[in-house]
Chain A
């Protein structure tokens, strides 16, 4: 291979490479380009489309008529079916998050105080749900909760009455909490791992009993973990449709179910209405999350 001089190599370069070498702006943009492209095509553009559609009129055969209307939004705010779905989704989201918090925080605290060997094992156990397919997990819950399932078989053997466990809000909650718990445990664990437990001794030394030491010292300092975990649980939960479908049946209609129906299952599909629904949903979530973060995280001045 001949060794060429720098100037010879430069002559072989095309215009693009030369531009990159000389211009800072060009370098910056070439690094940003892949990310921006992805975001634009797969996020910004769809968002614009949905925004557009939400103001259009649905056609009789599932197509879209280009006529401006506010009917979609009007329906969403007045028709019971939709309003109830929103409220139920928010309610389930909040309850799931709260229960995950009540279970997850003590669990994370327990794990953090074990010896390193036990800690790794326990964390692994918490993550096991991730190793199994989501759908399989949900079907497993159906088996446990059904009328001929595990729980009811045990109850029958004990001579007690059979309980209808499936197709209830409770079943949906159980499935959601089970699936979302790791998302709550891990951020809180990370927060607790960085927590200096000597501070609890100091609090105790200064007269705080265990409850007050927790509320005044531990909780405020692990708030970032609590906030992160709560958001990671709340958002997917509110948009759920698989779990509510399988474990709740027709009885538990959540946002996700309705959206799915409007876009695919209903006859005819109603994209404008679905778009409006999705937009309202995103707005509500954004507001809720922003508010939550403002309230729970420390301002670092």
Chain B
């Protein structure tokens, strides 16, 4: 992670409107030079439109975009030192691999000898040396994607934009490409802006993530920050899994807050943002952060409830237990199978009684 000083891309209060729809709704983001930055969110959240605004395929309706400090709002794509890897790869079918990769360099009127060297280097970097004569239709999906990557990187852009590039690949290839892309980015040192709807992908590869929904940026942070400290229910829900217990604020302390549910349970959690008594909020507890014990735990567990096991799913590496909490509420607990045993009694069974508990730090109180 060689993040340098200065911002590669800044979006200041950017708005993009299509008719009545705000595809990008007052977005402000700073992307640091040399970082692997992801924009994550469900379909239609504005991440692809934001990428296209940075690339120049769309122009902002409002706000300004800066590249290395220079505003580029109205500049056409062919004048920006930014390159894109398209979701469909968009390789030129009437040219072979070498011609495809050389295209950008030809546009810049680079000398022919230099083009040859740089194309060879680019192909070697994506491990496609020797494929120069092939046509795109003779390549597999993974190979096409690497050509698209080489074609973009050979131009040494300031920023590389990737629009869900791994979407069309099968799972195994996807995982391999994730590692390769990350390694490539570290080797080349260029800022990568990566758009995806796959949160696991974003968590694995990024230095920082921007979570978006409906045109707005909800949270920007490192993968750890996003996962452990989501600032709202949407982010906590979109990233990983979480239990959400809805209720009303009954007491507010310095750092923690008490929530009372409609069926009379009282839970305690960490404050994330200012709340008042009576506000509606959710207690968010991730399944791996909660515990299930046969004996009630000692003092220090502010949240403890007697529960009955409703369902158990054995995943191999962990066990996923669903317990009934209060009336008609199912709560997920994930336990790692740290011990290697086939003894049935070591694992939770349906119908068993236990105590569900978690420390306050493991619960966050969030609003929508």
- Residues of A at the B interface (CB closer than 8 Å) are 196, 198-199, 201-209, 212, 216-217, 220-221, 298
Which chain A residues lie closer than 8 Å to B90 at the CB level?
A: 196, 198-199, 201-202
CA distance A298 to B151 in the complex (A): 23
Partner pick for B107 among A199, A212, A298, CB 8 A cutoff: A212
Known: A198-B88, A201-B77, A212-B107. A206 touches B94 (CB 8 A): no
Which chain A residues lie closer than 8 Å to B88 at the CB level?
A: 196, 198
Q: Once the chains bind, are A207 and B107 in contact (CB under 8 Å)?
A: yes
Which chain B residues lie closer than 8 Å to A216 at the CB level?
A: 103
| Least CB separation from B99: chain A residue | A216
Tell me, yes or no, whether B292 is within 8 Å of chain A by CB: no
Distance to closest chain A CB from B239 (angstroms): 30
Partner pick for A204 among B78, B152, B155, CB 8 A cutoff: B78
Tell me, yes or no, whether B314 is within 8 Å of chain A by CB: no
Q: Once the chains bind, are B94 and A201 in contact (CB under 8 Å)?
A: no
Which chain A residues lie closer than 8 Å to B155 at the CB level?
A: 206-207
Distance to closest chain B CB from A288 (angstroms): 25
CA distance A146 to B123 in the complex (A): 66
Tell me, yes or no, whether B50 is within 8 Å of chain A by CB: no
CA distance A209 to B83 in the complex (A): 15
| Least CB separation from A221: chain B residue | B94
Q: Once the chains bind, are B78 and A207 in contact (CB under 8 Å)?
A: yes
Q: Once the chains bind, are B94 and A298 in contact (CB under 8 Å)?
A: yes
A-B contact pairs, 17 of them (CB 8 A): A199-B90, A202-B86, A202-B91, A202-B92, A203-B103, A204-B56, A204-B77, A205-B78, A205-B82, A205-B84, A205-B152, A206-B78, A206-B83, A206-B103, A206-B151, A216-B103, A221-B94
Tell me, yes or no, whether B347 is within 8 Å of chain A by CB: no
CA distance A199 to B108 in the complex (A): 18
| Least CB separation from B107: chain A residue | A207
Q: Once the chains bind, are A220 and B94 in contact (CB under 8 Å)?
A: yes
Q: Once the chains bind, are A198 and B92 in contact (CB under 8 Å)?
A: no
Tell me, yes or no, whether B55 is within 8 Å of chain A by CB: yes
Which chain A residues lie closer than 8 Å to B103 at the CB level?
A: 203, 206, 208, 216
Which chain B residues lie closer than 8 Å to A206 at the CB level?
A: 78, 83, 103-104, 107, 151-152, 155
| Interface size classification for chain B | 20 to 34
CA distance A277 to B107 in the complex (A): 50
Which chain A residues lie closer than 8 Å to B83 at the CB level?
A: 205-206
**Given A196-B88, A198-B88, A206-B107, 5 other A-B residues pairs in contact with their CB atoms under 8 A:** A205-B83, A206-B152, A207-B104, A207-B108, A221-B94
Which chain A residues lie closer than 8 Å to B253 at the CB level?
A: none
Which chain B residues lie closer than 8 Å to A201 at the CB level?
A: 57, 77, 84, 86, 90
Which chain B residues lie closer than 8 Å to A212 at the CB level?
A: 107
Distance to closest chain B CB from A215 (angstroms): 12
Which chain A residues lie closer than 8 Å to B56 at the CB level?
A: 204-205
Distance to closest chain B CB from A120 (angstroms): 23
CA distance A209 to B107 in the complex (A): 9
Tell me, yes or no, whether B264 is within 8 Å of chain A by CB: no
Q: Once the chains bind, are B86 and A208 in contact (CB under 8 Å)?
A: no
Q: 3 nearest interchain CB pairs?
A: A207-B107, A206-B104, A202-B90
Tell me, yes or no, whether B167 is within 8 Å of chain A by CB: no
Tell me, yes or no, whether B316 is within 8 Å of chain A by CB: no
| Least CB separation from A202: chain B residue | B90
Known: A198-B86, A212-B107. A205 touches B55 (CB 8 A): yes
CA distance A208 to B79 in the complex (A): 9
Partner pick for A217 among B55, B82, B92, B151, CB 8 A cutoff: B92
Interface residues in B38-89 (C-beta closer than 8 Å to A): 55-57, 76-78, 82-84, 86, 88
Contact code string B126-155 (vs A, CB < 8 Å = 1, else 0): 000000000000000000000000011001
Distance to closest chain A CB from B50 (angstroms): 16
Contact code string B99-118 (vs A, CB < 8 Å = 1, else 0): 00001100110000000000
CA distance A220 to B93 in the complex (A): 10
CA distance A220 to B95 in the complex (A): 10
Distance to closest chain A CB from B89 (angstroms): 9
Which chain B residues lie closer than 8 Å to A199 at the CB level?
A: 90, 92
Which chain B residues lie closer than 8 Å to A203 at the CB level?
A: 92, 103
Q: Once the chains bind, are A204 and B92 in contact (CB under 8 Å)?
A: no
